[in-house]
Chain A
């Protein structure tokens, strides 16, 4: 039996997360133009995120389950508020200004959507019947549509992925999935025509970035050059010419992997990937050990969504996926998404460390 920690901390996860945070500081120092201020702010954010994680880990899964639908409702209200403000202000609107600080309601949905779906499925026998699935589709579809409207393709994708993973894990029948895949293939052209022009360009660019090397292809070309020129051992910390000469756009945030790959090469990249895989596998193991529908669906959902983030970001930077605004989890500079991410890990820890008391 795994021992129960008084603080409900899962140490393998903790060590993996700490390792990533440590790497993050080094890469940021280089990507941020050797600015200690950036590093210090990131340290503060990491600390805050870890505190959130540990606090969340103290909450028993049963309480989390009870609260799930309410969190969802709050999230929806905020999203609608943002949408309303955006309609009035006639422009992209993602932030809600709460006076003291700005807040991105879409972040709540990254947690609330998988939690609510897990809650829904746990209430019903599995595999889910059509009625439950339709309800799930609504619970997933609304927030994704609202976030897509903002427009924030990256976050919408992440929320969609987290929901779909939970639905898949709940045991949706293969026939039904096959049917839906066909249907979505059919409506894909319709969705395409609704995408913003710049979003379309990002996807076409993927197939031929050199068609527009200074426009939409610039990001992909420059980040691919950075990754490729890193070679096996990399150019060395603070020595990446692509990064230091500012060829890489958004090198502290979405494209930070390019900086890392250029400076630390294939060796560094492999180690980083290993750490990510270690964390994901640990999350899957927690899901595997969980004894209740809610906890295992949620644990599985979070673990796989986390992997999805990593995959989309690295895929985008290395030029195999279109450019969507997804940060590299725990390495990129930025606050809100890190806090939500760590709250999810707090839930994973809670699930794993509370299961003794729940087991039947």
Chain B
């Protein structure tokens, strides 16, 4: 029989209160225990722990990793590291920092800039950290310091790896450079990742592949004595070196391109159309990146910055130019795709007029081409044919086709700072200019003028769609990544461009035949580079109008005439049957695409396809007609209310 108990409230309360009392006593005992411990730590052994905290501390010293190398496709070194000595000071270890600086000044040359930078660092960093005072000491200076070291407490030499670009200015816009981590860099980077590092990639591949090149810092945990000197090593974790990058770019080809451009301002972009691998990525003028590594001096920098040639601009990547007639091949495809027969003829009397308008849009050939079909229109670059085509397709179709080939949008190249260019649309004009779209603007878009802007990179990329007969690849500077630990070279996978232009292969053959005749035909605008070529080239010349000078540009008489000249453009791929190179050349103020830009493309292709080094003279052929489609200044603007002619070029 279960025992039945009744709740006895009085007894329960008594038990509870007794237990509560016991626990309260326990609490009081435990609190006194804690207090006792704290008295022991904070009062009894205060001196001991204060000493531990201040002097006998365990410090963690980062070990800088070796930055990855940058090499061209055949292994030529474009960026490397070499050992340099840096004089560093730990302010906490010095008895008197200003006296120390004075002593050091007698042994080693210290510029006011060095001292200023050191003072600046000293304000920002804790006193137990080693701060750089002078970089790149000479052997003599290093030796002089070593002899006197015993009386220079707080100062020490440290061997650093210093970035160096052995090819100097070659491909500077492509390779880029590293620089000291600046205050503004500090705001955006993860400081923990950069512990122990003084440089980071600022431009080009150095910047875009920073995460891969950088590597990971190791560290040493050391115990230091009361004077802050290292007592013993407790733990060490090895740094991980950054990975090496192999580029698609061929340094020799790059040199050929840069030499071909010579003293002119311009850009050459060549890619392998099948992989998107960028073979050459030249922008001139170039400059030497090496002074930037440790901070270029103000005078040299302003010289570069103020130069009217704007060497700092990466023209290949961010230079925006009107594509001019180079766009005609793409529009030819648009014509075929939208149902126009290749044989359909347009009569060119030397000008074009829109219905209900008397304004004349002129062809570059005043006397007119007569009756032209698509083939002849591309070969001889007849403007009227394309005025007519543009008017027929309408601006929306133009926009659709041109963006379908990658114009007006980012190519997705693995370099930061790419510009998207511009393919205008009525919607864009309404949004940006708050104005309606005029029919005349459609007409001039048909010959690549007006608002249309493209980059040399885009031209090469879009051209690869034609070269490949229907597909394009995203441009890639880096070919492969090499892990230093396992020496494994891992090629990156080529990425197709996610675009959907004209699919029908026959349309491409029609346009490619015409573009081949541009180079090899008797009336082609680039026939001067075709007649002696050992392989077949398909190309298209173009001219980009330059109008006016920028408002903030200084008026320099000697320059003005040249600066008003048109930009010369040329795009080409070769061999026609199985293209291995697609190239876009722009020569600023170069005049005619056929005479200025095309020979540069030829030199690059010769070298790439036949390993022929360029000769000074390529031979001169008699010139019959000016081989460029060109609309002269002043002809366009009239009748186009709202269309602003004043267009600045790449340097805006």
Contacts and interface: CB of A to CB of B under 8 A. Distances in A.
A323 to B, nearest CB: 15
B120 interface: no
B190 to A, nearest CB: 14
Give the top 4 A-B pairs by smallest Cβ distance, nearest first.
Answer: A228-B49, A229-B53, A228-B41, A171-B15
A291 B48 CA distance: 52
Interface of B: 5-8, 11-12, 15-17, 19-20, 23-24, 27, 30-31, 33-35, 37-39, 41-43, 45-46, 48-50, 52-54, 57-58, 126, 221, 234-235
Given A125-B8, A229-B54, 5 more contacts: A169-B16, A261-B42, A266-B39, A284-B20, A300-B23
Given A228-B48, A242-B53, A245-B126, A304 B41 contact: no
B53 A273 contact: no
A226 B37 CA distance: 14
B41 A168 contact: no
Contacts of B20: 169, 284, 287-288, 300
Contact of B46 (A228, A245, A280, A281): A228
Given A125-B7, A261-B38, A320-B37, A229 B49 contact: yes
A213 interface: yes
Interface string A217-243: 000000011111111100000000110
5 contacts: A126-B15, A169-B20, A228-B53, A232-B42, A318-B38
B43 A280 contact: no
Contact of A171 (B19, B50, B234): B19
A198 to B, nearest CB: 18
A270 B42 CA distance: 11
A232 B7 CA distance: 53
B38 A214 contact: no
A351 to B, nearest CB: 14
B41 A277 contact: no
A228 B50 contact: yes
A54 interface: no
Nearest to A297: B16
Main SS class of interface, B: helix
B224 to A, nearest CB: 13
A315 interface: yes
Contact of B42 (A213, A214, A242, A265): A265
A228 B8 contact: no
Interface string A282-317: 001001100001001100100010010001001100
Nearest to B39: A266
Contacts of A247: 57-58
B33 A320 contact: yes
A169 B19 contact: yes
A245 B41 CA distance: 20
Contact of B53 (A225, A297, A304, A314): A225
Interface in A52-94: none
B49 A224 contact: yes
Given A214-B221, A320-B37, A269 B58 contact: no
A165 B23 contact: yes
Contact of A270 (B30, B35, B234): B35
A127 interface: yes
B31 to A, nearest CB: 6
Contacts of A228: 41-42, 45-46, 48-50, 52-53
A232 B34 contact: no
Contacts of A227: 38, 41-42, 49
Contact of B234 (A170, A213, A229, A230): A213
Nearest to A320: B37
Nearest to A165: B23
A214 B58 contact: yes
A348 to B, nearest CB: 14
A213 B58 contact: yes
Contacts of A265: 42
A304 B12 CA distance: 19
Main SS class of interface, A: helix
B43 A232 contact: yes
A127 B15 contact: yes
Contacts of A170: 16
Interface string A192-211: 00000000000000000000
A149 to B, nearest CB: 29
A246 B592 CA distance: 65
Given A169-B20, A242-B53, A284-B20, A318 B235 contact: no
Contacts of A242: 53
A242 B41 CA distance: 15
B426 to A, nearest CB: 44
Contact of B52 (A171, A214, A225): A225
Q: Which of A165, A266, A281 has the most CB of B within 10 A?
A: A266
B5 A125 contact: yes
Contacts of A269: 38, 42
Given A169-B23, A304-B27, A241 B54 contact: yes
A112 B35 CA distance: 32
Contacts of B16: 126, 169-171, 293, 296-297, 300
Contacts of B42: 227-228, 230-232, 261, 265-266, 269
B54 A231 contact: no
Contacts of A225: 49, 52-53
A166 B42 CA distance: 35
Contact of A229 (B8, B35, B52): B52
B33 to A, nearest CB: 7
B57 to A, nearest CB: 7
A205 to B, nearest CB: 16
Given A169-B23, A269-B42, A318-B34, A214 B53 contact: no
A307 B50 contact: no
Q: Which of A229, A242, A297, A320 has the most CB of B within 10 A?
A: A229
Contacts of B11: 126
Nearest to A233: B42
Q: Which of B34, B46, B50, B221 has the most CB of A within 10 A?
A: B34
B60 to A, nearest CB: 9
Contact of B41 (A126, A284, A318): A318
Nearest to A171: B15
B158 to A, nearest CB: 22
A213 B57 CA distance: 12
Contact of B34 (A169, A281, A314): A314
Contacts of B126: 245
B522 to A, nearest CB: 72
Contacts of B7: 125-126, 293
A319 B49 CA distance: 13
Q: Which of A228, A270, A300, A315 has the most CB of B within 10 A?
A: A228
Nearest to B14: A171
B27 A224 contact: no
Contacts of A241: 53-54
Q: Which of B11, B12, B35, B221 has the most CB of A within 10 A?
A: B12
Nearest to A169: B19
A229 B30 contact: no
A5 to B, nearest CB: 24
A320 B221 CA distance: 26
Given A213-B234, A214-B235, A245-B126, A224 B5 contact: no
Contacts of A281: 24
A168 B23 contact: yes
A62 to B, nearest CB: 17
A231 B15 CA distance: 43
A306 B42 CA distance: 25
Contacts of B8: 125
B19 A224 contact: no
A220 B5 CA distance: 52
Contact of B17 (A213, A229, A288): A288
Nearest to B221: A214
Contacts of A318: 34, 37-38, 41
Contacts of B31: 273, 277, 311
Contacts of A165: 23
A358 B45 CA distance: 53
